[in-house]
Structure formats: structure tokens, C-alpha cells
Structure 1
Amino acid sequence: MRKILFLLSLVILISCDSNQDQPEPLKIIPQPVSYEVHSDFFKIDKETKIWLEGDVDLSSEADYLTEILNESTGFALPIIKDEQRSNVIILKGEKGFGTGNEAYDLDVSSKKIVIRASHKAGVFYGIQTLLQLFPPEVYVRFADQSEIKIPACSISDHPRFEWRGMHLDVSRHFFPVTFIKKYIDLIAMHKMNRFHWHLTDDNGWRIEIKKYPKLTEVAAWRVDREHESWKDASSPQPNEKATYGGFYTQDEIKEVVKYAAVRHVEVIPEIEMPGHTSEVFAAYPELSCTGEQLYVQPGNYWPNIDIFCAGKEETFDFIENVLTEVIDLFPSEYVHIGGDEATKDRWKACPLCQKRMKDEGLANEDELQSWFIKRVEKYLNENGKKLIGWDEIIDGGLAPEATVMSWRGFEGGIKAAETGHDVVMCPTSYCYFDYYQADPDFEPEAIGGLTTLKEVYSFEPVPSELNTSQAEHIVGAQGNLWTEYVATPEHAEYMVLPRMTALAEVVWSPIEKRDWTEFLTRLQNQFKRFDKLKLNYSQGSFKVDIQPSWVDGKYRIALETEQLNPEIRYNLSGQSLMTDYQVYEHPITIDSSVVVQAAIFADDSVKERPSVKEIEFHMAIGKIGSLKYEPQRNYNAKGVLSLTDGIKGTSEFRDGYWLGFQEEDMVFSLDLEQPVEIHEISFSFLQNVGSWILLPEKIHVEIFDADLQKQADTLITPETMPEVAGTLIEDYNTTFDGISGSVIRIMAENPGKLPSWHPYEGNRAWIFTDEIVLR
């Protein structure tokens, strides 16, 4: 017996030692396709060398790596071409290796590090992974050069999508070349490969065009209204000088393009047309329909009515001359021509535009825009470039070879992919990094919206509506930073970091490798790197999401957050969380109406404001109804369960409690399984005119018995109030004198299209609803 106990103890000890020796998982972002961690490590010292091997010129990649390592280690690591088998970093170019130009293998042992790829780009991304295996000090200077160790591992990796991009608007606010390079460094660090440079817009022209000097003498400058709010910026005073702005010289652009090329980032220039061009008419008013000389807008400009005249040949002479110089500056495959938000009132009133429509056999102004874009595409194609534009270029007919950037949701991208066009997905709800990323009361002023880190990480670029062949046209995705409310490089960093980190994993890693909790763990290491680089990043949202569920017939509340392992305090008493609280450890079971409040605490202080939710136990709670039409994927909450989970939505329609229906009706049916006495049915709809969310045209409330014989029918006729800015929640109650019913049905009629008073007249309207309460 004693011998058995001894052997058992020995087994336990060995097991414990084995667990202690188990290497930690790698903290790499984006998550690689596959990897193994070994128990050894590679140590860099002053004798380490970098050996270039194979049949691919990797001198640029070697220079990039040595510049970083020489600075951080203090060593002068030589680049050699003669074979060395130990204490060496090998960059190996092997044509035909891997699954595409950006694939790589990285092997680290005690004797050497080997990065192998078929192309320079793959080696570069292997280097980015290698840098993440170093301690975060690799970007600055190691305090102790004797302890620079790299964990032994084997990594095989390649990207999921070809297009992995970030956008930057430099028209609303101008950013210096030094920051543009820093932005490109961030793109490269995240294994992204497209920089979409938004160079022209109503608030300033930012690129030197030698044939048209007034573009940089006049159109690049506006009066300084930085002391005023963007949306209320005042017009220029008589003789007031335009002093705010700037532009990039052609030499500076060449410098940026060269800098990006070393980092395998393709720079995509955007030259807006036919709309977002009013700044041009400050310099060359003859290119507009009216010929009126405008000033460069110092703030918000809407609606966008001053656009290029499509009836004048001078317009196309100007565009082609500008594009000729742009093409010479940018070796990119694509030129972005904008194409968005062009209000066509001027075209409707312009005799030349109307004549153009008649001469070309065009039915309406949408077709005139399509003709305009197709003409520009023809010129680009003849000069070796492809056209890409925002999804409005679909309206009136898509240019034959155009690529679509789908920003107004997924619909434009779906339509383009179904017709064989390539698509870059960047829907506002996931990819607009000018939106708030946490509670607005605790954040710098932003344009609106709410796109949290978790929301970005949940993004799936390929819509389920597409079949396999159509899905191949989704070439990738990108994050967009518009800068109406972003005036400095530090603020720009704050808005994109770490949301671009989440997006980088979305567009690189296999979907099955993505795990939110595990990503948060790896993100902590990324934050250390950001700290060393002195980047101004956001720590994300500290909001606690109160999420209900039914498990084994019990109603439970989970408290979820973007933060990793925070202290969450909660109570059900309504008292202060400072004095009356429990620390959240697992889901809370609830069996009656209650108010839940919860917040993250650090050092005994609350972070942001407590989340508060009133949970009402009504007769429909937990029952599963059905919807005739599914909500849009962006605003699906927990599907039909969200209508009977006891929780109402907030004034933020992106809060995860509202269901959104675009152009379709909301038709909800609920079988109560047995007759019940119904006294009241209540529900809410949300209005946010600026976000295209209107109240329903009509709401029918019906009650049926078990044989589906109608027992009651009530009609409500809401009326959208266009004068109400922001969000309005309208509550509706229908009362009954104790009607016995087994089935209820609520039909809310969507207005369909935005009405004539709306700036986006004719676009598809939304309706939003949350809880259906049955008493």
C-alpha cells in the first residue's frame, strides 16, 4: 500500500512539473493559421547575423529588420550571404512556396530563426510576427541586452483576405507627412496592406496638381473655425483670409508611396467626383453647373448640392488632367473616385446636364451619374488603372469593371458581388472608426454612432446571402477614419487603436480561429507594445452589458464587458454600488421583476457609469415568438428572443436590444399555448431621422383564440416627427377589457422609402422595435 501511495505521489509530481513546463500560448495578433510552441528559446547577442538565402531579393526586408533590431539591441547585426547554421536569422525566399505571395512559415529553435516565403511580402509578414515574439521593448531599446530571448515555435500562416485596409480622411483635417508614415507603420504592423488616402473633399484639396495651381493656392485652404463646433461652423467674413489647411507636394507623395512600398502597403488615392467637390469651385467655379465661386467649407456642408457639371466637356478635361498626374504619382492598381452622396438638384436644374441626358438617352439623374462614372472608368482603364468607388456608384448602373466599396451596410456589396464585381466591405456599423467606441459622456466628441471593439471583432465580411462563387468577390475589408471631429494625430491614433487591431484579425485570421475572450488576452500584450511606441490608444468600453437568457427553464442574467477579467459589482436593490453590492462571478438567476445595476470598478472607483436595466416579468417573458421577416444582420440583437426577454432598449439603437427592419414590415406572432386573460399589450418604436429610422406608418394589434378566430383588432397610426433631432422612443399601449386570447400578432408597417422632406429622400427607411410586453 505504501509503495502504491509513493508511486501515485510521484505521478502527481511529474504531472505538476509537466504543467509547469508547458509553454505559454503565443500572444500574436492577428492569430496565425497554425502554430506550435516548443520549450526552448533563441537568444540574440552581438554575434547574431542575418543571412539572406534563396532566389528572391530580400535586401529591403533585411534592411527593415536590421534597422529595428540594431536600434533596440544596440548591436550591429550584419547581413550576410554566406551560409551560417547557428546564431542566425535566416530570411529565405523560395519561389513556389506556400499559399500565395503573403504566406510565410516561421521556425524558431535554439540555434536559428528561419522565415520562409515565396515572395518579399510573405517574408515581411513573417518579420512582423517575429517582432511580436520579442519583448515589447523591441521597438525602443532593451535595458538588458543579455536577456533578449525569442520562444521556440513553428508557425505557418497566410491571410484570409487579399484587401486588408485602413482609410484616412485628410480633407476635413490635414495631417503632416510624419503622421502619414506613422499611420502606414501601424497598417504594416497589423499585417494590413492597403492605405486608402482620402485626398479631396469639400473642406480642402490636399494634392499638388501642377496643371491646376489654384487647387493648392486656393482650394487647400479655409478660414479657421477650429474654435467652433464642426456642425455649426460660421461662414467666412468679408475679406477674411483662409489660413487653415495644407497640401502634399508631389515630392512628398512620392516619398510616402516609397515608404509604404517598403512596408508592402499599397497607397490608394481618392479623388472625389462628382460630389464632395465644392472646394474645387473655390478655385475653378466654371466646372460647376452654376459657375458661382464658392468658398472652401470650414465645417459641415450638407446637403452636397454643388457637384461637377456633367454637361460640360471642360469638367472631363479637368478630371482627366488631374487623373493623369495622380496616375503618375501612384503605382497602385486602383484609383478611388468617391462617387458618394452626390445630391443631384443642380443637375436637375442645369440645361447642359439635361441636354447630356437627352443626347445619351439617360432616363434620370442616377443614370447620368452612372454615365459619368463609366466615362471616368474608361479613361482609367486606358491608362492601366482600375476604378473603385463607394457603393453609390451602383445607382443607375455599375461601370463594367468597377470595384465597389460597400459602406451603407451590406446590401451594395451583395448586389455588386451577385453581378460579378469585386467588393471591399466597410459597413458603418463595423468599420467606421470615427464613431464613438464607448459611452459618449466619457469620450472625446465624435460624429455620433457607436462601434465598440467587440462590435468590430464580431464583423464577418462575407454575407451569408452569397453563394460560394459570389463570395469570392468579397476581396476584403477596411476601417475608415473620417476626421470631421479628429483634428490631431494623437486623436486619430485614439480612434483607430485598438479597433484596427480587431479588424486586422478579422481580415487575416481564419474565422474558426477567432475567439473574443482569447483575443482580449492577446490584446494586453499589444497594449504593452503600444505603450513602448507611445501611441495614444483607447482602452475600449467599460460598459457592462446586461444579457438575459433562459437556461433549463430559468431566467438568468449574464454581465458581459469588453475588459479582461474586471471587477464587476452588481445589485438588485437600487442602492449605491459603493456600499451595496456583490462581485459578479457567474450568471444571476432571477424569478421576478427587478432592477439590475452593474458597473466595473478599479481601485474602488467606478469606471464610466453603471448599467441599469429594469427587467419586467410579464406574461410573454421567455416565450418564443416568430417573425415573418428577419431583422437586418447589423441590428438583430438576439433575434426574436429580444422581443420577449424582459429588457427594453436604450436611446442608442446600436445597444444590442433593438431589432431593425429596413424597408420591410415588422410582423410578430406569439402563441401563448393556452388561453390567457389579456388586459394590455405595450411596445416601443424608435425614431432617429438622421439615421433613417422612422416610426411605422401603421401598427395593427390582433388577438386570436386557439382556433385563430380574431377576438380583437386595434389600429395605431404613429407619425414621424422630422423636427425632432436625435433619438425619440415612442411607447404605445393597447388596453383590453380582459379578452381571452391564445395568439397575438403585431404588424408594424414600414414607410418603405425616406419621404420628400428627408435629405436622403428615396433611400430605404428603417423601423426599430424592442420589447413586446403582455399584461
Structure 2
Amino acid sequence: MVTVRLHNTTVAKPRRRDPPVSQRRTLPLLLAPLLLVVAAGATSFAAAPAATQRAAEARPLGQVIPAPASVSEGGPSYTLTRRTRIKVEAGSPEARQIGTYLADILRPSTGYALPVSEWNDWDEWDGRGGIRLRLGSGADSLGDEGYTLESGQDGVTITAPKPAGLFHGVQTLRQLLPAAVEKDTVQDGPWTVAGGTITDAPRYGYRGAMLDVSRHFFTVAQVKRYIDQMALYKVNKLHLHLSDDQGWRIAIDSWARLATYGGSTQVGGGPGGYYTKADYQEILEYAASRHLEVVPEIDLPGHTNAALASYAQLNCNGVAPPLYTGTNVGFSSLCVPKAVTYDFVDDVVREIAEMTPGKYIHIGGDEAHSTSHDDYVAFMDKAQSVVGKYGKTVMGWHQLTGAKPVKGAVAQYWGLDKTPAAEKAQVAKAAKNGARLVLSPADRAYLDMKYDKSTPLGLSWAGYVEVDRSYDWNPQTYLPGAPAESVLGVEAPMWSETVSTNDHIEFMAFPRLPGIAEIGWSPASTHDWSKYKVRLAAQGPRFSALGIDYHRSSKVPWPEE
């Protein structure tokens, strides 16, 4: 049995604290990868050169995740040395910030000083070589998040139209260096980047991951750690599920008991917790420094027991229910006819909108089984107008399409392959009428689903979701009848009924999250499980270097470490 517990973590390359989840698995699961390798023989590793390359060899430019849009390999490689410097665009604080971020990653493992300084004349070097970070310079066709990376004997140059693209290019550079570059103590080199050029830009603008902080609360430090892991794979949205039956996790000044009382517990009866406005601001700023936008969610009108317990007047009978620490769903509902309900919604949305610079506010809308259909439609009409009133774009789970989505609303689809055709058709119809879609099919993208029956964490109501299944789907064609242009992107939710520590998050997210990130970033033409699993295997040592307790799926030819 896995013990559910809550603990703090540090942010800067923390190591494992608890016995990792991977060490709690049964013996047959531990032996599965070894037996797969023995059965396959040496040819398994011959098929995975990136996973078994010697430290002295440079990783091929295409052997990163997500797969780049275009790769041209060849020419001399570049090796970082003690003389290497990081040069950034003169007069660009954004480029300097990214250069400092890169230096902070590389210095502990290389032991090099890697000074960061501005550079004006990009046509001349002083013979030392280095890493150059440039904004603009005719790369506008790559959009807000695209970049080029050029590597040769004189150094590596990353060029992007916007800071986000420059940051994403830095993540590619990290993966081109040996995995040991992620460690926080000095390691042996060499630190070589293969020669050639990468030209890259995302397929979709929305590439998200959701963290449920309501069923189990996660501290600011724990959220930051997950943000850093998401950023490595170019995820650009952090969806925070801030309220549910088991806990309210964000301070609202006008309704203070939501957090102080409604946030005082969690699944299993633990201490819970909530984010002060200062805490939330810290998360927002940290996410922005990693070029992630935070999408806050207040789930309405169901999943509201924490709110109903905090304020009796939100209940139709005027009686507050007790706090809830179980895992059932669908039993709670705001009182739709009451005027105070909309005072509550207005105040909550207003305060969150004032704090949140991103464009979206997510209002939930799923599993409102205790709300009649007519009441649901009436409530969502009013709630959507409140979100618009405060200048935000409304998001909701795909049940929103059973009401009347406002123009430009985003429906997050979480159905299954086997979801009834009528429900899928309802979502597709809304998309044809102007709704936008973010796809999170539960039997593909839910990171809290078990890998197989022996997985010690997670749920299985959507089925088992192994690594290959989570990768093997195409957002453009997944929902029949939905226009391809209606799809904004993808998101990988992590619900936390059984997840309460960073080790738990990491074991369930890795290695599936990088695959979802690739589905959102890379061209459809690059999607090939047989090739992807080789690139994924090469990430194993990087996961380990970062202290990530990942699931060693037998579907992947992991190298020995």
C-alpha cells in the first residue's frame, strides 16, 4: 500500500526525499524492463543510439522531445569549455533573464563560470566562442514561440522573434547536452552539441498540464517544481484546479471562510491548506519566468461542497453541510435560484481576474449531477457573463456545450474513446458554432490513470493508460465532426485523489507528460511511436539527473543507469 502524505520540497534541482514510488512496485513490474531487454537481445539497444551513446558523443539534433519541426544535421560540433560565455541581445532584459536562467542550469554540473553579458556586434567573435541568444533578426515567421538553433565550431546561436521562443530554444539546448548537465554537482564532460540547424515552432498554441490542488493540497514550492518539469518539454499552460468538494485553495477577501475553513482539509482528512494572494502571485510570477500562463479554475456549480460548508447562505436550505474528505462526485450544487449565488460568483471571479494576467478563467461545469438541466443552463449563462464582464475568456469542461457557450468560449473535452456518439456530437456541434476546444481525453491524457493493474497509485475508471496509448492519438482527428481549426491544443490533467507528494506527481506524469507535450508541439508527420520510444528512452537518465521518480514502463527500451 502507498502511504499518502504531504511534504514540502525545494525548487532548485531537489533530490528525492521519500522512498520513491518506483521502489514500491511489485517484483514482476521491476523485472519487466529487464526481461524485455533480455528477450529482445542486443538489437534493442542498437535501435536506440541516443539512449546508449557514450558521453563523448554528441546527441543528434533530432533526438529531443518534443520533436523539432525541421532539423538539418551536419558540420562541426561545439563543445562548452571554461572559456565559454553566454552572450545576449544588447538592451533586452528578457534575453538577459533567459541567459541567466541558462547559466544557472549549466554552472553546477559543468563547474564553468559561464558569464552572461551583452553583445552588440553579432558578426564578430573574440575567439572564445559561446552561446548567443538573439531576439528578432528576421525570424518573425516562427511566431511567438518558434526559434532557430544553429550549432557549429564557434558556438551555438538561438534566435527567436519573442522571448518565449528563445526560452523554448534553451530547453532544446539543454536536451542536446548530456543528461548529467541537469545535476547539481560538478560532473565529467565533455559538453558537446552536435553541428547543424533546428528550425522549430509549435503545432498548437495551447499545450497544458493541470494540477488538482483541491483533493490534496500542494505547496508553492511543489507547484514550482512541477512548473520546471513542464517547461523542459515546452508546456505553456498551467491549469490549477483551485476548488472542489474537498478543499478551497485560493484566498478570496470578500468571502474569507472559503479558504480558512473550506481549505482546512483534504482527501483522507489531512490538514489541507490554501494559497494566500501573495502565494498565488508567487506562482504566477514563477510560471511567467518559465513562459507558462496560469489558468485558474473554480469548479461550478457542482464540486462545491467546500464552499457550501463555508457559507450556509449558498445552500438552498440555508444549512451548511459538513466538510468532505471522501472521493465521490456529483452530490453538491450551488443554489441556482438564489441571488446571493451570483454575488458569490461575481466576487470570486472579480478577485481572481484582478490577480491573474492570463486570458482564461475556467469555471468547471462537469459532473453537476445535483443540478437540474434547466438550472445548469441558467447558471452557466450567468457565470459566463461574469467572466466576460471582467475581461477574461471563459473555459469549462465539455459539459458546458450542453448549455449555451458564449462566443469564443473554450470547452475542455475529457471524454473517452467509448464516450457515446451523441455526447461527442454535441461538442462537435458547439465547435462548428464557434466554440474552441482543448482536448484532454481521459483514456489518453489523464495522468492520474494507472499504467496497468499493478500501478500502486492512480485510478482506472477510464481504463489503463500506458505510455504508448497516451502518445498514440491525433488532436486534429480525435473528435469526429469537430473542425480542425477549432482545436486550440491539448492538456494533461493530474487529479489528486491518490496523489499527495512530488514523488507521486512525477511517477504518474513521467514518462507520459513529455508525450502529450509532443502531441501539442510537434508536426503530425513526426508522430511515430516506434521512433518516439527511442527518444523517450534517452530521457531516462535526464529524469534521474533531475531527481524525477519516473515509471520505467516496459513499453520503452530504457538504458541501464
Shorter-chain TM-score above 0.5 = yes
**Farther-moved stretch of structure 1 (183-192 vs 45-54):** 45-54
The aligned residue for residue 365 of structure 2 is 339
Q: Does 1:284 align with 2:311?
A: yes
Structure 2 partner of 1:33: 69
In structure 1, C-alpha distance between the alignment counterparts of 2:558 and 2:208, rounded to whole Å? 31
The count of corresponding residues between Structure 1 and Structure 2 is 489
Spell out the pairing of 1:623-642 with structure 2 (5 A cutoff). Answer: none
Q: Deviations over 1:312-337 (max 9, x none)?
A: 11111111111111112211100000
- The DSSP-based 3-state class of the residue aligned with 1:81 is strand
Q: 1:111 to 1:142 in 2, by over 3 A?
A: farther
Letter in 1 for 2:251: E
3-state DSSP of counterpart to 1:164: strand
The answer to whether the 8 A contact 1:181-1:259 is kept is yes
SS at match of 1:443: coil
Q: For each residue in 1:52-101, what CA deviation from the matched residue of structure 2 results, as whole angstroms up to 9, or x when unmatched?
A: 23785412211211111222222222222233524121111116513211
CA distance in 2, matches of 1:169, 1:41: 43
Note closer, same or farther for the CA distance 1:283–1:336 as it changes in structure 2 (3 Å cut): same
* Correspondent of 1:157 among 194, 200, 204: 200
The question of whether the paired residues in 1 share the 8 Å contact of 2:206 and 2:490 is answered with yes
Shift of 1:374: 2.2
Q: CA deviation at 1:224?
A: 7.5
Residue 82 of structure 2 corresponds to 46
| Aligned equivalent of 1:326 | 352
What is the rounded CA distance, in whole Å, between the counterparts of 1:155 and 1:301 in structure 2? 48
The answer to whether the 8 A contact 1:494-1:537 is kept is: yes
Q: How does 1:161-560 map to 2 (within 5 A)?
A: 161-222=204-265, 225=268, 244-302=271-329, 304-344=330-370, 365-409=372-416, 410-411=424-425, 413-438=427-452, 440-444=453-457, 446-448=459-461, 449-463=463-477, 470-540=483-553, 542=554
Q: What is the CA distance between 1:164 and its match in structure 2?
A: 0.4
Pair 374,94 (structure 1): closer, same or farther in 2 beyond 3 Å: same
Aligned equivalents of 1:299, 1:180: Cα separation in 2: 23
Once the 2 structures are TM-superposed, how far is the Cα of residue 465 of structure 1 from its aligned partner? Answer: 6.7
Letter in 2 for 1:178: A
Structure 1 residue 150: Cα displacement: 1.6
Q: 1:217 to 1:142 in 2, by over 3 A?
A: closer
Matched, 1:563 2:556: yes
CA shift digits 1:166-194 (9 cap, x unpaired): 00111111111111001111111111100
Q: From 79, 84, 89, give the equivalent of 2:116.
A: 79
In structure 2, do the counterparts of structure 1 residues 442 and 209 end up closer, same or farther at CA, with 3 Å as the change threshold? closer
Equivalent-residue separation in structure 1 for 2:426 and 2:112 (angstroms): 53
Does the aligned pair in 2 maintain the 1:462–1:471 contact within 8 Å?
yes
Instruction: State which of 76, 93, 98 in structure 2 corresponds to 1:61.
Output: 98
Distance 1:390 1:133 in 2: 37
Write the letter of the residue equivalent to 1:119.
K
Report the AA paired with residue 75 of structure 1: Y
RMSD value, Cα: 2.4
**Which whole-Å CA distance do the structure 2 matches of 1:155 and 1:477 have between them?**
24
| Larger displacement relative to structure 2 (122-131 or 24-33) | 24-33
Residue in structure 2 matched with residue 755 of structure 1 by the alignment? none
Aligned partner of 1:473: which letter? S
Name the structure 1 match of 2:136. Answer: 94
- For 2:478 and 2:310, the matched residues in 1 are separated by 47
User: Could you list the per-position Cα deviations for residues 124-164 of structure 1 after superposition, in whole angstroms to 9, with x for gaps in the alignment?
Assistant: 11000000011111111464566222221210111111110
For the 8 Å contact 2:381–2:404, the answer to whether it is kept is no
Closer, same or farther in 2 for the Cα pair 1:199/1:465, shift >3 Å? closer
- Deviation (angstroms), 1:401: 3.1
The residue type paired with residue 376 of structure 2 is: Q
Alpha-carbon separation, structure 2, partners of 1:61 and 1:467: 42
Deviations 1:739-760 (A, max 9, x none): xxxxxxxxxxxxxxxxxxxxxx
Could you list the per-position Cα deviations for residues 199-256 of structure 1 after superposition, in whole angstroms to 9, with x for gaps in the alignment? 1000000111122221122111238736xxxxxxxxxxxxxxxx62111111111011
2:89 alignment partner, SS class: strand
Gaps of 5+ in 1: 1-21, 227-242, 346-364, 543-561, 567-601, 603-775
Please give the secondary structure, in 1, of the residue aligned with 2:477. Answer: coil
1:105 equivalent to 2:148? Answer yes
Q: Partner letter of residue 91 of structure 1?
A: L
* Per-residue deviation, 1:306: 2.5
The code of the aligned residue for 1:321 comes to D
SS in 1 for 2:550: coil
Residue 37 of structure 1 deviates from its aligned partner by 2.2
**1:310 partner SS:** coil
CA contact (8 A) 1:54 1:93 kept: no
Instruction: Name the one with the larger strand percent.
Output: 1
User: What corresponds to 2:46 in structure 1?
Assistant: none
C-alpha distance in 2, partners of 1:506/1:430?
11
Query: Partners in 2 of 1:325 and 1:565 — Cα distance?
Result: 47
8 Å contact kept, 2:72–2:197: yes
**Higher RCO (CA < 8 A, seq sep 6+):** 2
Mark the runs of 5 or more structure 2 residues left unpaired by the alignment.
Answer: 1-56, 417-423
Relative to structure 1, the CA distance from residue 95 to residue 281 in structure 2 (aligned partners, 3 Å threshold; closer, same or farther) is: farther
Higher Rg: 1
C-alpha contact (below 8 Å) 2:448/2:458 kept by paired residues: no
Contact 2:217-2:266 within 8 A present in 1 as well: no
Quickly say closer, same or farther: Cα 1:418–1:145, change in 2 above 3 A. same
Matched with 1:133 is 176
Separation (CA, whole Å) in 1 of partners of 2:425 and 2:102: 42
AA in 1 matched with 2:357: P
Check conservation: 2:446, 2:492, Cα contact below 8 A.
Answer: yes
The aligned counterpart of 2:166 is 123
Q: Structure 1 residue 388: deviation in Å?
A: 0.2
How far does the alpha carbon of each residue in 1:405-450 deviate from its partner, in whole angstroms, 9 at most, with x for none? 0112454542322112111011111111111112x13533535421
* Larger CA deviation: 137-146 vs 382-391: 137-146
Q: Is the 8 A contact 2:410 2:436 kept in 1?
A: yes
Contact 1:389–1:404 under 8 Å retained in 2? yes
Deviations 1:30-62 (A, max 9, x none): 111111222522121222122223785412211
What does the per-residue CA deviation read over 1:481-511, in whole Å, with 9 as the maximum and x for residues that have no partner? 1111112221111111111111111111111
Which deviations, in whole Å up to 9, do the C-alpha atoms of 1:289-318 show, x marking residues without a partner? 22221122111234x232111111111111
Task: Identify the range of structure 1 (46-55 vs 290-299) with the bigger mean alpha-carbon deviation.
Answer: 46-55
Query: Partner of 2:164: helix, strand, or coil?
Result: helix
SS in 2 for 1:244: coil
402 and 155 in structure 1: CA distance in 2 versus 1, 3 angstrom threshold: same
